[in-house]
Structure 1
Amino acid sequence: MANIKKGDLVQVISGRTQARGGDRGKQGRVIEVIPEQNRVVVEGVNYVTKHVKVGQTQRGSKTGGIETHEAPIHVSNVAIVDPESKKPTRVGFRNETVTKDGVTKTVRVRYAKKSGKDL
């Protein structure tokens, strides 16, 4: 089971600080998860510029130019944000029993661990 999934709110925990032009401390939603490379694409983080060759569409409008979009960052550089405290936290798993239509089964569920400072 994955620690980080699409749609999770995460915070960048490493890299250059925002004062130095980096993304450390920024929070955003996960747009895409790339499990083969252990990378995630986070909304509003790690913007890169891409030069796209000028072309034409079927209707004749011009395409191309300089585009900016989010690039993937390594999953170890982000941490899930605890929904209660709004601070980065670690993820744990626990087994819970779920009853649906009279059938009871055990399911692994993610939860935000409390850090030592929050207790």
Structure 2
Amino acid sequence: MKIKKGDLVEVISGPSQERGGYKGKQGVVLEVFTETSRVLVEGVNFVTKHVRVGQSSQGAREGGIETVEAPIHISNVAVVDPETKKPTRVGFRVEEVEKDGKKKTVRVRYAKKSGKDL
């Protein structure tokens, strides 16, 4: 997967912010759900949940209406280039890393040049 927990991403599809959507909004990935190809992004895709009234251990009543973030499909977000702060595509390149005196070949993620079409 090209998107990982902690990445800064931007929503690239859906209704614009003027129409009540989240397109163009940036946020940090809180969690990645690989089975369903969805990501949980901070401050994006709020939904209203109705929580049943119950009692906590202190005897206080909890419940009511809460707004929580819901997962968004991974195809609707793009990683933000740290230099230009614009959405970009992600590539991989092979680099040799020396660790404990041994050379090891690893794949390293990098942000490609930001295009006008994204």
Q: TM-score, normalised by structure 2?
A: 0.96
Are the equivalent residues in 1 in contact too, given 2:86–2:114 (CA < 8 A)?
no
RMSD: 0.8
1:11-90 map, 5 Å: 11-90=10-89
User: How many residues end up aligned between the 2 structures?
Assistant: 116
The answer to whether residue 114 in structure 2 is matched with residue 115 in structure 1 is yes
**Match of 2:93?**
94
Which secondary structure does the structure 1 equivalent of 2:83 belong to? coil
Distance 1:85 1:20 in 2: 26
The answer (yes or no) to whether the contact 2:12–2:78 under 8 Å persists in 1 is yes
CA deviations over 1:11-49 (Å, ceiling 9, x no partner):
000000000000000000000100000000000000001
CA distance in structure 1 between the partners assigned to 2:62 and 2:19 by the alignment: 33
List 4+ stretches of structure 1 deviating above 3 A: none
Aligned-residue sequence identity (percent) comes to 72
Query: Which sections of structure 2, spanning at least 5 residues, go unmatched?
Result: none
Structure 1 unaligned spans of 5+: none
